């Protein structure tokens, strides 16, 4: 369901999906989804634990600065989803970033050169990868944004999330759910149905 929402929200087709090597990503459900939808699935190389640097490059710059490191209980999920929805517009439409264009070692120093800072929205428009309809939809969304109100809403959502986060050192509280039906080993090892 989350991947379907993501695909619907993307202004361009999802051609590939890159992930860590963890079982939370590499599982039968995801592999079957990618096979059925024609999405190319790639992962980090085995035994290279830092191979996901490009996948995870925004973990600090966006996720951790926004949400922090507190453990979140299930009751915090609506606040987290609200915060992500607000932040998506801020990061994609209003927050300019610079991209590394060259890296050169000069003696003991490494000199990095960056391009001019642009928002992801501006970079996407410059790529000419969108249809006119999608360009118009994004322009309408961009013009409807109120940066001051958006910033205020993000701060309010962060405050709500902080109030709902578990106190540091607290024991985890779990929402009781029925146990999933046991799976046999044969159901785990079966290949995805083709077609």
Rg (Cα) of the chain, in Å, rounded? 21
pLDDT reported for residue 49: 62
Contact, 120 vs 92, CB < 8 A? Answer: yes
pLDDT reported for residue 26: 80
Q: Are strands 109-114 and 40-43 parallel, antiparallel or unpaired?
A: unpaired
Q: How many CB atoms lie within 10 A of CB 38?
A: 9
Contact, 52 vs 79, CB < 8 A? Answer: no
Contact, 175 vs 76, CB < 8 A? Answer: no
pLDDT in tens, 113-171: 999 999 999 999 999 989 999 999 999 999 999 999 999 999 999 998 888 887 666 66
Tell me which of 63 and 54 has the higher pLDDT.
Answer: 63
**Predicted TM-score of the model (pTM):** 0.71
Domain boundaries along the sequence of the chain = 1-57, 71-165
**DSSP bridge pairs for 165:** 72
Question: CATH for 1-57?
Answer: 3.30.420.10
* Interval 90-108 mean pLDDT: 92
């Amino acid at each position: 369901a989350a991947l379907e929402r993501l695909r619907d929200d993307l202004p361009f087709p999802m051609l590939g999906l890159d992930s860590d090597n963890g079982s939370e990503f590499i599982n039968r459900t995801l592999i079957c989804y990618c096979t059925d939808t024609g999405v190319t699935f790639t992962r980090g190389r085995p035994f290279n634990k830092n191979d996901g640097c490009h996948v995870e490059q925004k973990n600090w710059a966006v996720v951790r600065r926004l949400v922090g490191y507190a453990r979140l209980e299930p009751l915090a999920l609506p606040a987290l989803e609200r915060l992500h929805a607000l932040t998506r517009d801020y990061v994609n439409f209003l927050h300019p970033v610079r991209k590394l264009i060259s890296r050169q070692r000069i003696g003991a120093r490494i000199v990095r050169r960056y391009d001019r800072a642009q928002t992801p929205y501006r970079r996407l428009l410059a790529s000419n990868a969108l249809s006119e309809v999608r360009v118009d939809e994004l322009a309408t969304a961009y013009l409807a944004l109120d940066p001051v109100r958006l910033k205020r809403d993000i701060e309010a959502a962060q405050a709500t999330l902080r109030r709902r986060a578990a106190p540091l050192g607290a024991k985890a509280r779990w929402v009781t759910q029925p146990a999933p039906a046991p799976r046999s080993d044969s159901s785990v090892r079966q290949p995805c149905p083709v077609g």
